[in-house]
Chain A
Amino acid sequence: MSDNRRESSFVFTIDGVEVKAFSGQTIMEAADEAGVYIPRLCDHEGLRHQGSCRVCTVKAGGRSVAACTQPASPGQSVDNETASLTKMRRDLVEMLFHEGNHLCPICEASGNCELQAMAYRLDMTEATRFPYLEPCRALDASHPDIALDTNRCISCGRCIRASQDVDGKGVFGYVGRGIHRRVAVNGENLADTDAEAADHAMSSEVCPVGCIIRKRVGFVTPIGEREFDKGLIGHEIEEKRK
């Protein structure tokens, strides 16, 4: 960040907590630096903001906005962890579970999965109220080092942005419209693309769920040492305030 922007700092509040921000920062960026966690799924550090999952929705000036794309404003009052916003986020996460086949007990991403961790954080303690869509997409294991189980995809688009913006490749893209929109590979299957295991898009941190699978390393991390065995999702941000 340039010195000019640093100099033009201002203060706003999130749930009554004073947060320092700089010109051009989004609400989420400022919140992260201040140790205030705003739940998110489609946003990821190092990737451009997309604002599509809406899990980061906050109330700013009485309006619902995506915290990952909305610039912070001086003196602004932002609501984050209110009962109604938490319920809205839980409903969104619940719908993501109902759209895919998220069988946590047998998924190698369990314990490292942001969707599962978000459900825990939002206290989603019961099975989804909606009928499961139960997609039946064939597992793509054609690539020697990577497999894709798109039945677990939540269409966050993080892999698309990582492949395009970081790897400069475009292995992934959206196809279809509306409820039928989903992430697909740019070819017959993954082996038909220029995807490589070293791509940022293929790293376990980019895919928030168990869709992009690094082959032959599943379950190597023991229970108790997985990412979210250490604490609720967002705990590393919240610990900055302690």
Chain B
Amino acid sequence: MGDPRLIEIAPVTRVEGHGKVTIHLDGENNVDEARLHIVEFRGFERFIHGRLMWEVPVIVQRLCGICPVSHHLAAAKAMDMIVGVDQLTPTAEKMRRLMHYGQVMQSHVLHFFHLAAPDLLFGFGAPAEKRNIFEVLKEKPELAKRAVLMRKYGQEIIEATAGKKVHGTGAIPGGINRNLPLERRDHFLSTIDDMIEWARDALALARGYTLDNEEIVAGFGNFPSNYMSLVREDDGALDLYHGNLRALTSTGDVIFDQVPYTQYHERLVEEVRSWSYMKFPFIEALGPEAGWYRVGPLARMNTASFIDTPLANDAHKDLMGVTSGNPNNSTLANHWARMIEVLHCVEKIQDLLHDEDLQGDDLIVTGDRREEGFGVIEAPRGNLIHHYKVDQNDQVTYCNLIVSTTHNNEGMNRAVKDVAVKHLSGQPEITEGMLNHVEVAIRAYDPCLSCATHALGQMPLQVELFGADGHLLDTKAQCI
């Protein structure tokens, strides 16, 4: 029996933000404990205190460079409540929705093609120098070109609705500050058919990978959990911009349904653990042991009753058919779900571009002032909660954010342990390829660690290996 060991993967790569993984091995090289640590700290919830309420959607979007639109819109929705607006003008709501669909589209495309595709195309254990977007460009140039052009399309939608591709100013309390000029609409319509076709091809690729590698997918971070997302009011359809909360168990039983998101804090509790800057939320009614849940594309497929665009709805039925209509618990099925959402977003963008409300001039409404506001949205990575209190002087006095990656904290940690046990336990030597399996599991959740800690600064992810006596034995660090 050898000495116990500790492996550290630091930083974890091809994720947004910085974190590390630690894996404790016992004297027989079996995995004793494996954890995903988030090592960045930012504190947006605190330093937003005292700022003026109309600044909030612009300030908090700086949490992230990948999904700033999600934070921008969630905060704007909360500020709508503060300024007493429950219903935006059709132009304002549709411009915001267009912005959001462009955002989800570009973020999902970025993740699937740029971050995950190297693993899926070349294998989890492929040499590190092969697992990057440049090799994808070399070996699949047409696919890579489409990925770039699809992301560009989504980014240009954001620019047209928010003024900039990253960190714009479109959404303001009570509405939007611009409409969509006809020339911009026509520009987007000129290539929308290509986007539909390419989204269908990307979906076929993700679906094919999942079904062709059934054995790998079934044994890779596949475990039951609860699921939570927004669903559309009344009919439970997928709705990425607005709706009520629905949570299901791993077998599809309802935990709660059609709960207004203003009551999120009556349903969810955030637990703090000493070894991570990221909190661990759970459903209060089930307690911390059984109440953890997952969010994101696959969770949305599991919770949605249907999808209101035809091509994505067919794809949703197809996905859910694999598990006979019950929730799909496979971590890697997130890629398939993600590409269904890309198709859904492109279909939604197409519908909106034909809607004359986007050229309307009625952009802002006002109402009776309130002191508390909630904004919840389905961000690319999952459910995103913004909650604020604002005093009579228009200054923020309270802020609580629960971001998608935080919701998924327990799920990612369980995936890390599941994969570590299956691929590292009992191995005489731990190779870089084996450790990449752990990263693949994390990557499937497309985590944004910067968002999750509302953090400031730079931070890639690393893996650490600890011995049974707690000593650090090995560290693997990769640069992005």
User: A residues engaging B (CB < 8 A)?
Assistant: 105-106, 108, 138-139, 141-142, 147, 213, 215-224
Contacts and interface: CB of A to CB of B under 8 A. Distances in A.
A141 B395 contact: yes
Contacts of B24: none
Contact of A223 (B52, B59, B168, B173): B168
A222 B170 contact: yes
A219 B169 contact: yes
A147 B170 CA distance: 22
Given A106-B58, A106-B59, A221-B177, A215 B52 contact: yes
A142 B178 CA distance: 30
B167 A105 contact: yes
Contacts of B163: 222-224
Contacts of B83: 216
Contacts of B162: 223
Which bucket holds chain B's interface residue count? 20 to 34
Contact of A139 (B52, B62, B172, B178): B52
Most buried by B among A105, A139, A219: A219
A216 B84 CA distance: 13
A35 to B, nearest CB: 31
14 contacts: A106-B55, A106-B59, A106-B62, A139-B50, A141-B394, A147-B52, A147-B393, A219-B177, A220-B177, A221-B177, A222-B163, A222-B170, A223-B163, A224-B163
Contacts, number: 55
Contacts of A219: 54, 57-58, 169, 172, 177
B393 to A, nearest CB: 4
B471 interface: no
B46 interface: no
Given A105-B167, A213-B52, A224-B163, A141 B393 contact: yes
B394 A223 contact: no
Interface in B360-405: 364, 393-395
Given A139-B52, A219-B172, A220-B364, 13 more contacts: A106-B62, A138-B50, A141-B52, A141-B394, A215-B52, A218-B55, A220-B172, A222-B163, A222-B177, A222-B178, A223-B162, A223-B164, A224-B163
B265 interface: no
Contacts of A106: 55, 58-59, 62
A21 to B, nearest CB: 42
Interface in B145-170: 162-164, 167-170
B140 interface: no
B62 A215 contact: no
A44 B364 CA distance: 33
B389 to A, nearest CB: 15
Interface of B: 50-52, 54-55, 57-59, 62, 83, 162-164, 167-170, 172-173, 177-178, 364, 393-395
A224 B164 CA distance: 9
A148 B378 CA distance: 35
Contacts of B58: 106, 108, 219
Contacts of B178: 222
Nearest to A221: B177
B183 to A, nearest CB: 13
B454 to A, nearest CB: 15
A221 B163 CA distance: 10
B169 A216 contact: no
A216 B54 CA distance: 6
Contacts of B50: 138-139
Contact of B393 (A108, A142, A218, A221): A142
A105 B72 CA distance: 13
Contacts of B62: 105-106
A224 B179 CA distance: 13
Nearest to B161: A222
B167 A215 contact: no
A105 B169 CA distance: 10
Nearest 7 interchain pairs by C-beta: A223-B163, A141-B393, A222-B178, A222-B177, A218-B54, A219-B169, A106-B59
